[in-house]
Chains A and B, each alone.
Chain A
């Protein structure tokens, strides 16, 4: 009996110590590119068993099993991977999917970051849920440090900018988005901050009238033809004439370990270190 007790204790310790040493969950599915990047940054990539078609960073993530798109992942594919936990972001959360996963007793965690301010804290919360709080705290400190560094960059303060997320119809980043936060951090004035909604459908003629100094275009959404159609309309703008139109990668959109490099990309564009 004593022996049995001892055996129990030993196995218990082995398991708990393993928990402290690696993540708490052995089978993680990430349903957003953002959480996929964070899971990698926290060093838990071996426990990641499923991602979406859009999880393309780090490049190895593309080799993981896919469960479909962000908005419409396959429930069967998720369940057949037998996840211990499913990670979601606030974008593309369908209540039906949450309910079905809940019905099947799949553990769900939502990464609630939406804005630049305080998203480091959300990373720590996620890391805590995954049993690697310290790694999360390190990541947060790195991000917050870099963000603070950007605050001193005031070279282009007061420049009027617009950030286009979709060319046709014209959708731009409004106030209440992490993109707007990044622009403000660099002292840039977002010309669309008075429009209602996060990504408002913006008036082309208003864009021309407001005449931005700089146009940023999120190139994740750019298919060639419609983007050209829009730029043809905008050819008289100062930004277009002086070549201040910059394509920005998707690091800035994804709140995660690369967000600060997205902010750096904005700076590099303004400094002329980025190709147009």
Chain B
């Protein structure tokens, strides 16, 4: 039964993603397309759908891992300060106008470097006595997040209005102008990060129960934690570099999946990844369709449709036997 519902869910997800390609300000029929429609489909809709799939996948999986890893239901992919580090560097790249140096790649490369550097810093602060401690890591992430956010505000405050505006729009996330250029790099890094995580999902299950339990079950706590942390950092850094900071998915999608499918990490993490993809794709499709020709940013739509659904599930489900 469980296997069947998982297969159904995957088929439904795939169909939704494929269908979304044809929905937009105008419906495009896959059977007869004009030249213009072909061009819209392949060079505008497809890249943004693929980026939404990648970002949603990375954020959903990272959120599910971090909530277990940090043993905190409030954890989301941005709690470790990685996103504010990425934003800080991205805004640096906008303000410095280093566009000429790396051209098109300047902003995403800066964002990625910022994210990885912040992740490393958090990891180093959270590491002590041969172990990465969840509590230490969480607090290090929050502390460094505040620091990078403050630096970000500082840069924004002293930068001219036009750059300020571009910076803010980037931070809020925009999928509408993406093309294929960044997709291969993003895809490779996200798949790599996910592969690192997938091999440690059993360990994650044990870690949720406590370090002593995991240890007595024969897991190498230190090594597993470091791998999970590197995997998450890679995925979040890539996602932020692709399309800015899209909230909600990393925090609430894992909870929704947990309500429905249980909290076994071996299912929870991959299913959260797929659900994250579907959610972001649907949100982006609605965003470009409902008030066309005007567009709404995907992050806003995600929170508006996902929030009430989450609250509905929260009321319906029994938690802690109540």
Chain A residues with a Cβ under 8 A of chain B: 53-54, 69-71, 166, 168-170, 192, 194-197, 200-209, 211, 220-221, 223-226, 229-230, 232-233, 236
A243-B290 Cα distance, complex, nearest whole Å: 33
Taken together as a complex, chains A and B put the C-alpha atoms of A170 and B297 apart, in Å, by: 12
Complex Cα–Cα for A157 and B297 (A): 35
Per-residue interface assignment for chain B, residues 93 to 131, with 1 indicating a CB less than 8 Å from any chain A CB and 0 otherwise? 000010100011010000000000000000000000000
Is A69 touching B293 in the complex (CB atoms < 8 A)? no
Given known contacts A203-B294, A204-B44, A226-B166, what 17 new A-B pairs fall within 8 Å (CB)?
A53-B160, A54-B161, A69-B161, A166-B165, A196-B294, A201-B294, A201-B296, A202-B293, A203-B295, A205-B40, A205-B44, A206-B26, A209-B25, A211-B36, A224-B99, A230-B177, A236-B39
Count residues of chain B with CB under 8 A from any CB of chain A. Answer: 35
Q: Which residues of B contact A205 (CB under 8 A)?
A: 24-26, 40, 44-45, 288
Tell me if B291 counts as interface (CB < 8 A to partner A).
yes
User: Is B292's CB within 8 Å of the partner chain A?
Assistant: yes
Question: CA A220 – CA B162 in complex, angstroms?
Answer: 9
- Chain A at the B interface: mostly helix, strand, loop or mixed? loop
Interface of chain B, helix or strand or loop or mixed?
A: helix
Residue of B nearest to A194 (CB): B293
Nearest neighbor of B38 in chain A, beta-carbon distance: A236
For residues 263 through 322 of chain B, which have their beta carbon under 8 Å from a beta carbon of chain A? Answer: 288, 291-297
Contacts of B26 in A (CB 8 A): 205-206, 209
Q: Which residues of B contact A207 (CB under 8 A)?
A: 293
Given contacts A169-B295, A202-B294, contact A208 B40 (CB under 8 A): yes
A69 to B293 CA separation, bound complex (whole angstroms): 32
A54 contacts which chain B residues (CB < 8 A)? 161
B135 to chain A, nearest CB (A): 40
Write the B35-47 contact mask toward A (1 if CB under 8 angstroms, else 0): 1110110011100
**Smallest Cβ distance from B64 to chain A, in angstroms?**
30
Chain B positions within 8 Å of A, measured between CB atoms, are: 24-26, 35-37, 39-40, 43-45, 97, 99, 103-104, 106, 160-163, 165-166, 169, 174, 176-177, 179, 288, 291-297
Q: CA A166 – CA B177 in complex, angstroms? A: 13
Contacting pair B40 A225 (CB below 8 A): no
Bound CA–CA A53/B297 (angstroms): 31
Which residue of chain B is the closest to A166 with respect to CB atoms? Answer: B165
Alpha-carbon distance A54/B161, docked complex (angstroms): 9
Contact of A195 (CB < 8 Å), options: B39, B294, B296: B294
A209 in complex: contacting residue of B40, B43, B291, B295, CB < 8 Å:
B40
Of A70, A168, A221, the contact of B177 (CB 8 Å cutoff): A168
A21–B154 Cα distance when bound, in Å, is 47
- Assess whether A204 is in contact with B177, with CB atoms less than 8 Å apart: yes
Chain A residues near B44: list those with CB within 8 A: 204-205, 208, 233
- Measured in the bound complex, the distance between the Cα atoms of B99 and A51 in whole Å is 31
Distance (whole angstroms) from the CB of A230 to the closest CB of chain B: 7
* B161 near A70: Cβ-Cβ < 8 Å: yes
User: A206 touches which one: B99, B162, B293 (CB < 8 A)?
Assistant: B293
Question: Which B residues lie within 8 Å of A229 (CB)?
Answer: 104, 177, 179
| Set of chain B residues within 8 Å of A197, measured between Cβ atoms | 294
**Pairwise interchain contact B291-A196, C-beta atoms closer than 8 A:** yes
Chain B nearest CB, measured from A74 CB (Å):
12
Instruction: With CB as the reference atom, state the residue of chain A lying closest to B172.
Output: A169
Ordered by A's residue number, 13 sampled pairs between the chains whose C-beta atoms are within 8 Å are: A170-B177, A201-B296, A202-B293, A203-B24, A203-B288, A204-B44, A204-B177, A205-B26, A209-B36, A209-B40, A225-B99, A225-B103, A236-B36
